[in-house]
Amino acid sequence: MDDDLTYSGGLPALQDRFERRRAPFEWSDVDFPAADADLVPLTHQIVPESATRPDPGKADTSWTRKRQQIAREFVGKSELAFLNAQLISNLRKRAWPSHAPALFCRLWAEHSEHLLQQLDLRWQVSSIQTFADHGATQAQREVGSAMRMLFGIMKLYEFERLFSGRPPDVPYPLRRKADAELPMEMNSFSFEAGGLDINILTPVWAQAKTDQTIAPLADHLFTALNRDPGTVFRRLAKMREAREARRAARQ
């Protein structure tokens, strides 16, 4: 690694690695429902265990293997939830069945309540991130992009924090702050007046509420984030409370 660069080769090297992960699946035939198909029956049909095994009637392709892999997470759940996951897996690639974006948006426009009951948080996050590139409206794409960045950065720093040995729900002690500058010449965060956390979350949450398709999913995820005791937002809130309690005790 170049000592002066986190990513040797800069943007061209990043793009090369990024594109290698986006190679489309090999398809023998398109087995998704039509864009205008009746989706209600899929809410009642349950994914069988046989979906995790090769189908003798289908060619062995990269897609059929990926579909079997996804199915392992959805046995016993609805075919509609399974379909949502399959669409996401394809829409992350450089190419996909032509009607996949419209079908994905239909799922959330017409069956968000069902999907929120069937999908775990990981698949809910994947769903909202998919709106970044395939949303039907500007609001859907903007909210999807913002939440893709939010959850991506959260995953990075929360993973790194695990190496501190401290549980996610335990804030750092106030007395042990390192005497170091923030990167990129950023100003320090203020416990008393700092509103960066509110400025990050509020505009995206409010914008999401303006779009009927993405609103239920975004609202559900922001509420889950608000309730989670193991995020930087909760830790900062606890540290702020501790600082205020300490100051009050001195008065």
Break the chain into its structural domains and give their ranges: 17-119, 137-171+190-251
Contacts 24+ apart (CB under 8 A), 119-123: 119/81, 119/84, 121/221, 121/224, 123/73, 123/81, 123/84, 123/85, 123/88
The percent of residues in the chain predicted with pLDDT above 70, rounded, is 99
- pLDDT, position 2: 56
Whether 73 has a pLDDT exceeding 80, the answer reads yes
Kindly give, in sequence order, each residue whose CB lies less than 8 Å from that of residue 36, ignoring residues fewer than 6 positions away.
none
pTM: 0.91
Whether 86 has a pLDDT exceeding 90, the answer reads yes
Contact 74, 115 (CB under 8 A): no
- pLDDT, position 251: 76
Whether 3 has a pLDDT exceeding 80, the answer reads no
